[in-house]
Amino acid sequence: MLNELGHFALILAFAVALVQSSVPLIGAQKGWAGWMAVGEPAASAQFLLIAFSFGALTWAFVTSDFSLQLVFSNSHTDKPMLYKISGVWGNHEGSMLLWVLILAAFGASAAWFGSALPPRLRARVLSVQAMIGAAFLGFIIFTSNPFLRLVSPPFNGQDLNPLLQDPGLAFHPPFLYLGYVGLSMAFSFAVAALIEGRVDAAWARWVRPWTLAAWMFLTIGIALGSWWAYYELGWGGFWFWDPVENASFMPWLLAAALLHSSIVVEKREALKSWTVLLAILAFGFSLIGTFIVRSGVITSVHSFASDPQRGLFILAILAIFVGGALTLYAARAGAMQAKGVFGMVSRESALVLNNILLAVAALVVFVGTVWPLVAELFWARKLSVGAPFFEKAFTPFMLALAIALPIGAVMPWKRASFARALRPLWAAAVLALAVVALTWAVGTNRSTVALVGAGLGSWLVFGALAELWLRAAHRPMRLARLPRADWGKAFAHGGLGITFIGIGLLTAWQSEDIRVAQIGQPFTVSGYEITLDAVDQVPGPNFRSSTATMTVRQGGKLVATLYPEKRVYPVQGMPTTEAAIDNGIWRDVYLVVGDPQTGGGWAVRTYIKPFANWIWAGAILMALGGLLSLTDRRYRVAAGARKALPLQAAPAE
Amino acid sequence: MLKPLLLSLALLATPQLAAPLWAVQPDEVLSDPVLEARARELGKVLRCPVCQGENIDESNATISRDLRLVVRERLVAGDADWQVLDYITARYGEYVLFEPEARGVNLILYLTGPVALLLALGGATVFLRRRRKGDAAAPKLDDAEARRVAEILQE
């Protein structure tokens, strides 16, 4: 019964979305206040209906209602509760439902917190947001209904893919969707502004928080996925340049570019049409990502629902929204007059460089991702583009970005000089060079990757600190009173530096050992003495495990006792490895146990991974930087300030 | 000479099919660390032909194990890295190369980044130059305005 209600609520939400996507839009065009006002209650209603539908599906998973096809295919009564819940979005239909739930939540929050927005703009934003909602609700109802019943409910389910039964992965998709879908707000604002033919500082101030939030969630989502791959897949890789990873990385790069260009619009009223274009493209790449994951046109480890019909539907959505927005852009972009004037050397120009590097890097990732498809379509060649290509083609852009970033960040607006911008940074440069020297001295191999990664990373970190010191006018007391946006900037830029250091040193210095370990016989890897003490058969809730007990010693002192596992999930008939990791600031000791060998002993792989955790620590700092910027005073008080002067005419300059 | 070797390997591998093979196995590792290091580098650029986007070192498929052994076989026989890659692509096609050869149409793939970067930098420079000139030219005041400005300044 509840399932049918959930299904019905979804159809009602579709109807509400259709109303919301037309009535306020017409109202805004004709100036009818009553029609414009429909947007707000409709957005709330749409959100509540989808939330009810999502709740109904979650309930079906929690109670293991196997009369639902979806629950039967993705759940099992023995599965722990956390994974019963995360199983709701561990499949195509449920994850699409989560997608539209988040979409509606963003739309509803624009309705709830956007009371200070000009009513016309708000009506148009809500309409565009509802158009996206209607398109995806239609997609779910017509091609991917999660509420399909089975005629005769089976006794138990088929369980969730064991790789997905993991806390890291339970929360990876929701964050990623919050990011993808958050960019829809920037898109809706951009389209509304194009319809209006007006982009100004106030518009940028409205768009930026949504973009910041989306970027922050994307950062967390990508980091969670990378961290999960690191500990779960059993060889400690953190990024594979898989098409689906790329699909989340391209919107991230463009969202980062959009964040920076919207600062220029907000502070200087320049780069307006470029910013609008970026907002369209960033969400466009989210849709492309959705298409890549769900259509199966590009083979990937992740594509969990490959279906040509669904692919076609999403391709149509993509074509209509991105094509429509770009057409509108072509017609209206000329109307946006830039105001701010700036010199060739200035903060504005530095941000243009940032945008060029990020956008071209995203283009490289895009071309590399679709190249196998293009080559097969036009030249009938079956080829692959993987990590070795991306590492060579993508990295130079990030290196250039890292070199320029601290300099651009301290440049003043309008007009600057290199010499003056470099002055507060010389200490940072000296410290970064010292880190390079230290890396050279400490490193076991003279790897350039280590030197470049550590050097540029510390240049970013010290550069961020030097900038804070500069903004506080060299007085420690003032640091606490700096605007949160300044702190957010320092955290985000410093976090990027930490990630650089982690990637550089891990890539250059990691060591690996593969061997047959006999029980009780110690072996040595990079100064660590490792012993396989025992291997026991342990039953789990929905799996069987061979758990090894291994001790790690250094200089005779016990460092850690680790329990790597090999699990077999009988329902799916799938084995997984559970690596055991001794986490540390300077290194991870990473142990994997394999199969028993015919001559006795077990296959064991040992990795020493220096600075691994810095990669994700940097990502956390970046996300924290986003959060700090998001809570900056100017966003908190902006709404109130605008309410105080509701009838502000064109600024009298 | 290789056929019987592959065959024997295939036969050896068959009983293990029941249990999955986890990436590089201890019995595959060459005793010469330099050769083994080269084998690992090659393993990273070769794609497992039956998996979804994994290289042969990461992959658990039987065919990846065979490919890893072929790589080592060729290295021990004294092949250079490119000869090993040629040997394998001649048999499995360019699909197994994770880094497509920078020849022919693939040049589009390799040149997109640099060309787009140059175009963007050039375009931005021209745009900024032209805007500065335009701004310098635009706000010329006519005589009446200039007089009014002078009046205001004097007040």
List chain B pLDDT tens, one digit each, 155 residues.
343 433 333 333 333 333 344 577 777 888 888 888 888 889 889 998 887 778 888 887 888 888 999 999 999 998 889 999 999 999 988 888 998 888 888 899 999 999 999 999 999 888 888 766 555 444 556 677 777 777 777 76
Q: CB of A214 within 8 A of CB of A254?
A: no
Q: Are residues A93 and A235 in the same domain?
A: no
Question: Buried b vs exposed e over A403-419: b needs ≥16 C-beta within 10 Å?
Answer: eebbbbbbbebeebeee
pTM score: 0.88
pLDDT at residue A393, rounded to an integer:
93
**pLDDT value at position A547?**
93
Give how far B1 is from chain A: nearest CA, Å: 28
C-alpha A612/C-alpha A615 separation (Å) is 6
Rounded to a whole number of angstroms, the CA Rg of chain B reads 31
The answer to the question of residue B147 being in a domain is yes
In terms of DSSP bridges, do strands A587-596 and A580-582 run parallel, antiparallel, or are they unpaired? antiparallel
Average pLDDT, chain A: 87
Count of structural domains within chain A: 4
Domain count of the fold of chain B: 2
Chain A residues 230-259 with a CB less than 8 Å from chain B:
233-235, 237, 240, 242-243
In chain B, residues with a C-beta closer than 8 Å to the C-beta of A363 are: 112-113, 116
Residue A338 lies in a domain: yes
Residue A646 falls inside a structural domain: no
Closest chain B residue to the Cα of A338, Cα to Cα:
B131
* Tens-digit pLDDT profile for residues A589-641: 999 988 888 888 888 989 999 999 999 999 999 999 999 999 887 776 654 44
- Whether residue A114 sits in one domain with residue A185: no
pLDDT of residue B22: 59
Are A175 and A258 members of one domain?
A: yes
CATH of the domain at B8: 1.10.8.640
Residue numbers in A near B21 (CB within 8 A): 595
Q: Kindly state whether residues A25 and A110 are assigned to the same domain.
A: yes
B25 interaction partners in chain A (CB closer than 8 Å): 514, 594, 603
Give the residue from A253, A261, A336, A360 with the most B CB atoms within 10 Å of its CB, the best one to mutate: A360
CA separation for the pair A608, B96 (Å, rounded): 29
Residue A153: the pLDDT is 82
This complex has an ipTM of 0.83
- Kindly state whether residues A153 and A177 are assigned to the same domain: no
- Measuring CA to CA, how many Å separate B51 from each of A246, A248, A506? 18, 22, 26
Strand partners, A447: none
Q: Is A445 on the interface with B (CB under 8 A)?
A: no
Which stretches of chain A score pLDDT less than 50? Answer: 301, 303-305, 639-653
Residue B73: CB partners within 8 Å, gap ≥ 6? Answer: B2, B5
Query: Order of strands across the sheet with A602-610?
Result: A511-517, A602-610, A587-596, A580-582
Q: Are the C-beta atoms of A540 and A637 separated by less than 8 Å?
A: no
pLDDT at A636: 66
- CA dist., res. B70 & res. B11, Å (int): 15
Inter-chain touch A349–B47, beta carbons under 8 Å: no
Question: Distance of CA B87 to CAs B64, B66, B80, Å?
Answer: 15, 14, 11
B82 and B51 within one domain: yes
Residue B137 lies in a domain: yes
Let me know whether B32 and B79 are in one domain: yes
Q: Give the DSSP H/E element, type plus range, for residue A65.
A: none
Cβ-based contacts of A388 with chain B (< 8 Å): 44-45, 98-99
pLDDT tens-place string over residues A141-154: 998 888 988 888 88
Chain A nearest C-alpha distance from B99 (Å)? 5
- B14 and B47 co-located in one domain: yes
User: Which residues have CB under 8 Å from B133's CB, separation 6+?
Assistant: none
Domain that holds residue A532: 511-612
User: Chain A: nearest CA to B84, how far in angstroms?
Assistant: 17
* Residues in chain A closer than 8 A to B45 (CB atoms): 386, 388
The continuous run of DSSP H or E covering A561 comes out as strand A557-562
If asked whether residues B113 and B87 sit together in one domain, one would say no
Alpha carbons within 13 A on the beta-carbon side of A317: 26
Structure tokens that stand for A86 in this block? 């995360």
Nearest CB partner across the interface for B113, out of A386, A387, A393: A393
- What is the pairing mode between strands A565-569 and A580-582? unpaired
Q: Is residue B101 part of a domain?
A: no
The answer to whether A594 and B22 have CB atoms below 8 angstroms apart is: yes
A34 and A140 share a domain? yes
Q: Are residues A571 and A454 in the same domain?
A: no
pLDDT of the residue at A643: 42
The residue from A510, A531, A548 where one domain ends is A510
Nearest CB to A371; choose among B94, B109, B131: B109
Of B77, B96, B115, the one marking the end of a domain is: B96
The Cα A381–Cα A125 span in angstroms is: 44
